[in-house]
Structure 1
Amino acid sequence: MGSTSDFSRRALIKRAAALGIVTVPAMSALSACASSGGDGGEKAEKGQKSAKNPLAVNESAALDVVIFDGGFGDKYAKDAQAEYVAAFPKTKGKVKLASTQKIQSTLQPRFNGGNPPDLVDNSGAEQMDFGTLVSKNQLADLTPLLDAPSIDDPNKKVRDTLRPGVVEMGQFGGKETWIMYYAYTVYGVWYSKTNLQKVADAEYPKTWDEMLAVCEKAKKKGVAGWTYPGKYPYYLPFSLYPFIAKIGGAEVLRKIDNLEPNAWKDPAVKAAFDAYYELYKKGYVLKGSPGLDHLQSQKAWAEGKALFIPNGSWVENESAKQIEKNPDFQLSVGAPSSLSSSDKMPFGTIWASGGEPYIVPREAKNAPGGMEMLRIMLSKKSSQNFIKQVSSLTSLNGGTEGLKLPPGLDSAQQALRTAGQNIVNPRLQDWYVALQKEKIGVGALGEMMAGRMTPDEAITKIQKYADETREDSSVKKYKR
């Protein structure tokens, strides 16, 4: 996989928070990190289970939490830490919360020694590989947390308060849930309502014909229809994958995730690739986009040099300085346009999924305490605190009542309401990072959008990559 040296610190933060599409340490290092080690000490005795303590937390036991020090910071976690201490006063002075950008190198010795923290925000450039951690049996099953009563409504289990797909994201082909994704990201085609109206006298195009017409109008005024980070073309799937699902149905993405033979040769894939390639052929892509990184492409877009960009809801924070220069920017997200009336899914179909992955190590001394901390974080109070601090949704469903959201976040919330049950959640980027990032992204989609490869050639190449991954016995396979 490629080096992380080309990424800015902010880039690494956002990518990890959103998808886990990050360059991970070599498998040998990860295997070492996930291997069993020596005796890390005694586990805390369980506490007394009660209505206020459904996870039977030891009310005087120490708690050890390690947070990724990224774009979300750690204040939201420290605030939840204070809530934990208030609930269990005897833990005062015993709850340790450390922040680092170097998760893997910081925690590897502790995992090796059988002395991991009780709760870890496993994110960032040094994110530990989940497939390895799961396969090495290093994580605790979070089912007790999910089945515990929620803080806000004891009649509802925690699992019943979460947004669609969050629980499934933390599973790896079985019933156990190993990861709790705390943030929630909406992906799609991001644009300025004001700029779209000014340049093309239009609202967001609901059909592909309308999309092409808008791009043609923009071109005549010297404005590109689209831009994207050509150095990191795995951004393209943020809008391309739900487009494929919209055309051919969610089943197409399921087959792709499962590495089924010829999954990429589905007609829906070809139709979507042809449509995006048409943007290049007709000159609707900002010149120079193949050479731009994510920040450069976002800057050009925010400055009005292009109307549309495939991205995630972190873009509101990441492009804040440019967006603030135009107080009437009206940031918004659009779902994939309809290709034709024969599309299998309705307009509004969108990709949304969890980010900022939390884990409780199997060898944690105080696993119930780690889960209780997550239960507190998934309360309405903690969730709204996070939203206000970092302008990102959490995985708590409906946790935004009474909040005034910034335009992009408000648009993302509206997009989720419009989508209803038509939310897709591809898993390829979680399960097979190298395949998604370097091979499909850089090796094929980037080449196609730069005009160096036709859609047919890109599909053939991607199918070959997928087949190689499926046949590689060293890569653990997952199904949904």
Structure 2
Amino acid sequence: MRSTSDHSRRDVIKRAAALGLVAVPAMSTLAACASSATGGDKVEKGEKSAANPLGVNGNAPLDVVIFDGGFGDQYAKDAEAVYRKKFPDAEVKHAATQKIQSVLQPRFNGGTPPDLIDNSGAEQMDLGVLVGKDQLTDLTPLLDAPSYDDPDKKVRDTLRPGVAEMGRFDGDPVHVLYYAYNVHGVWYSKAALDKLDAEYPQTWDDMLALCAKAKKKGIAGWTYAGKNPYYLSFSLFPFMAKIGGRQVLDAIDNLEPDAWRDPAVKAALEAYYELQQKGYILNGTPGLSHIESQTAWTEGKALFIPNGSWVENESKATTPDDFGLRVAAPSGLDGSDKMPAGTLWAAGGEPFVVPAKAKNPDGGMELLRTMLGEQSSKNFTRQVSSLTSYDGGTEGLSLPPGLTSAVDALDKAGDNIVNPRIKDWYVALWKEKVGGGLGEMMAGRITPAEAVKKIQAYTDEAANDDSVKHYQHQ
């Protein structure tokens, strides 16, 4: 790898500093010196038993920080209540925040991070950096422990396919456990389509025709989280894969030098750009937050929004009872698409981690083991209208419309499910650089060709930066 520019080096240092992985002096010149904080000692282990397979110290405090976003934090509090019942002498400290990075930066700097973190949201800490800097605990003991409900079955054997592998970075042990299981795609209202006497478009020509029909009725075709434009990738990435095959996304994940120049990427961006050029995007969308865009959508101002399955819970306060919430895989481009109809992005979400310097890592893993039991899994699904990574947990539940649609979409996709890893391997690149380039294009400030050039340059910069740990599809 060739050396990076001063600018990219500063960016890397800033990324690490924001995560508490380096100390930054209060002066204009940044210095990448490692934090000298060592943190407190870990608590003594408890005695292992059939009821306590991880050897949790029942007297030790447990410190938990949960991202308070679309899923809220009540599900975690409920699991903590189960933990308290099992370990009545343990003090459980619970905090919920939308500002994960801001809240936890000083704690990582001081070497006193929590025992368990739901590392999600706009201020998600960069998982690739955390793994690369040895800041996370190996969760293999949790995965190899007996499951909460069946002592003859390991935790790893109760997870949905691919979930454990998602927490493994480039052959490393599993450092991340994704608790939710999200379906990403194009979300819409069946009632809104019914009013237009329309079905969900199967081809891009159909999509454009429906958007034109809606425009005549004063309804926009699309809106999206303009202030968080990486949301566009929730439908764009599987669209790219459908057009050109899985290898298109693998090349993007691998930071390959021509990944963004692939014809399938070009075709997908040009298709979305056509939405903008023809006035099918809701006016003002580039200035909307994810909540504002979702509210405009549930109010019927736009037909479609790229999003994930958390949207049902997050937007429930503004969703009419007769909305008919649905999710669909991206429309096809044309008859030459490499992957079939129904190709979908579905993967683990809500990444939970146990910091390497946690005082009570066994307690953090035990709480996760509890959450991956059937009772806690059903409780999560019942509360927030989303699946968990526990393979099951819906039996006997009455699922709301959006989640029912998501399950149907998974069934339709079958094996044609994609999971772009740039979202986990290079969080800042995905959210800030890729998202930023897509946002500029959809705002009409740059063309698809210019977006490709800009995003590929960011990709090359990351690929050639030897201070960034790189990951590859095996």
Q: TM-score, normalised by structure 2?
A: 0.87
Q: Aligned equivalents of 1:233 and 1:159: distance in 2?
A: 34
1:28 is matched with which residue?
A: 17
What do the CA deviations read for 1:37-96 (whole angstroms, capped 9, x no partner)? 33613531342343x3333334x3414131225133433223222322434xxx313232
1:57 is matched with which residue?
A: 56
Q: Aligned equivalents of 1:409 and 1:92: distance in 2?
A: 35
Structure 1's 69 and 261: CA in aligned 2 closer, same or farther, altered over 3 A? closer
Q: Aligned equivalents of 1:113 and 1:337: distance in 2?
A: 49
SS at match of 1:236: helix
* Counterpart code for 2:287: G
Ranges in structure 2 where 5+ consecutive residues have no aligned partner: 1-12, 24-33
2:242 alignment partner, one of 243, 246, 249: 246
Ranges in structure 1 where 5+ consecutive residues have no aligned partner: 1-23
1:18 is matched with which residue?
A: none
SS at match of 2:21: helix
1:421 is matched with which residue?
A: 415
Deviation at 1:269, TM superposition (A): 0.6
1:359 alignment partner, one of 353, 360, 378: 353
Q: Aligned equivalents of 1:283 and 1:298: distance in 2?
A: 19
Structure 1's 235 and 122: CA in aligned 2 closer, same or farther, altered over 3 A? closer
Q: Aligned equivalents of 1:108 and 1:93: distance in 2?
A: 29
Q: TM-score, normalised by structure 1?
A: 0.86
**Greater Cα shift, 94-103 or 335-344:** 94-103
Within the alignment, does 1:132 sit opposite 2:125 as a pair? no
Within the alignment, does 1:395 sit opposite 2:389 as a pair? yes
Structure 1's 126 and 418: CA in aligned 2 closer, same or farther, altered over 3 A? same
Q: Aligned equivalents of 1:312 and 1:341: distance in 2?
A: 27
2:302 alignment partner, one of 297, 306, 314: 306
Within the alignment, does 1:333 sit opposite 2:327 as a pair? yes
Deviation at 1:104, TM superposition (A): 4.5
Structure 1's 85 and 318: CA in aligned 2 closer, same or farther, altered over 3 A? closer
Q: Aligned equivalents of 1:297 and 1:111: distance in 2?
A: 34
Whether the 8 Å CA contact 1:40–1:113 is kept in 2: the answer is no
Q: Aligned equivalents of 2:89 and 2:442: distance in 1?
A: 55
What do the CA deviations read for 1:284-321 (whole angstroms, capped 9, x no partner)? 22233233332332222222222111111222223223
**Greater Cα shift, 257-266 or 390-399:** 390-399
Structure 1's 234 and 62: CA in aligned 2 closer, same or farther, altered over 3 A? same
1:40 is matched with which residue?
A: 40
Structure 1's 189 and 108: CA in aligned 2 closer, same or farther, altered over 3 A? closer
Please provide the CA RMSD for this pair. Answer: 2.4
Q: Aligned equivalents of 1:224 and 1:233: distance in 2?
A: 18
**Greater Cα shift, 178-187 or 189-198:** 178-187
Deviation at 1:113, TM superposition (A): 5.2
Structure 1's 106 and 64: CA in aligned 2 closer, same or farther, altered over 3 A? farther
SS at match of 2:249: helix
What do the CA deviations read for 1:247-274 (whole angstroms, capped 9, x no partner)? 1111110110110110111111111112
**Greater Cα shift, 219-228 or 115-124:** 115-124
Structure 1's 100 and 467: CA in aligned 2 closer, same or farther, altered over 3 A? same
Deviation at 1:165, TM superposition (A): 3.0
Aligned pairs for 1:247-286 (under 5 A) are 247-286=243-282
Q: Aligned equivalents of 2:312 and 2:464: distance in 1?
A: 40
Q: Aligned equivalents of 2:121 and 2:439: distance in 1?
A: 24
1:86 is matched with which residue?
A: 85
- Give the aligned length: 448
